[in-house]
Structure 1
Amino acid sequence: MDQLIIKDLSKTYSNGVKALQNISLQIPKGMFGLLGPNGAGKSTLMRTIATLQEPDTGSVQLGAINILHSPNELRKVLGYLPQQFGVYPALSAEMLLNHLAVLKGVIKKNERKAIVHALLHKVNLYEVRKQKLGEFSGGMKQRFGIAQALLNNPKLLIVDEPTAGLDPAERNRFYNLLSEVGEQTIVILSTHIVDDIKELCTNMAIINKGNVIVQGNPIQIMDNLRGRLYEKTIQKSELELYRKEYQVISDRLYLGNQLVHVVSDSYPGSGFNPIDANLEDVYMYQIFNS
Structure 2
Amino acid sequence: MRQEGTMKQLEISNVSKSFRKNEVLKNISFSVDTGTFGILGNHGSGKTTLMNMISALTKPSTGMIRFNDLDTVEDAIKVKELVGYLPQDFSLYDELNAYEMLGYIGKLNRIGTRKGIEERIEHVLELTTLRGAAYRKIGAYSPGMRRRLGIATVLMKDPQMIIVDEPTAGLDPLEQVRIRTLLTTIAEHKLILLSTHRVDDIAAVCEQFIFIKNKTIDFQGTPAEWLSGIQNPVIETKVEGTHQLNILAREFKVISMKQMQEGIHVRLILGNRTPDFQYTIVEPDLEDALLYYS
> Scaled by the length of structure 1, what TM-score is found?
0.90
Preserved contact between residue 23 and residue 211 of structure 1 (Cα < 8 Å): yes
Name the count of aligned residue pairs.
Answer: 281
- Unaligned runs of 5+ residues in structure 2 are 3-7
Q: Which moved more, 1:255-264 or 1:127-136?
A: 255-264
1:226 deviates by 6.3
1:216 deviates by 0.5
Deviations 1:12-63 (A, max 9, x none): 123x432111111112211111111110111111111111111210111112
Preserved contact between residue 41 and residue 208 of structure 1 (Cα < 8 Å): no
Quickly say closer, same or farther: Cα 1:202–1:89, change in 2 above 3 A: same
Aligned to 1:281: 288
Flag as ranges the 4+ runs of structure 1 deviating above 6 A: none
Quickly say closer, same or farther: Cα 1:49–1:268, change in 2 above 3 A: same
Return the alpha-carbon distance in structure 2 between the equivalents of residues 71 and 249 of structure 1: 45
Aligned to 2:10: 4
1:258 deviates by 6.6
Matches within 5 A, 1:93-242: 93-225=98-230, 228-234=233-239, 235-239=244-248, 241-242=250-251
Quickly say closer, same or farther: Cα 1:141–1:71, change in 2 above 3 A: same
SS of the equivalent of 1:69 reads coil
SS of the equivalent of 1:144 reads helix
Aligned to 2:50: 45
Deviations 1:221-258 (A, max 9, x none): 11222673334445224135414xxxx26253544447
Preserved contact between residue 19 and residue 41 of structure 1 (Cα < 8 Å): yes
Preserved contact between residue 254 and residue 266 of structure 2 (Cα < 8 Å): no
What one-letter code is carried by the residue in structure 2 that aligns with 1:8?
A: N
Q: Sequence identity of aligned pairs in percent? A: 31
Preserved contact between residue 106 and residue 112 of structure 1 (Cα < 8 Å): yes
Preserved contact between residue 123 and residue 144 of structure 1 (Cα < 8 Å): yes
Deviations 1:117-174 (A, max 9, x none): 1111111112221111111111111111111111222111100011111111111111
Two-structure CA RMSD over aligned residues (Å): 2.0
Quickly say closer, same or farther: Cα 1:268–1:258, change in 2 above 3 A: same
> Scaled by the length of structure 2, what TM-score is found?
0.89
Aligned to 2:74: 69
Aligned to 1:268: 274
- Unaligned runs of 5+ residues in structure 1 are none
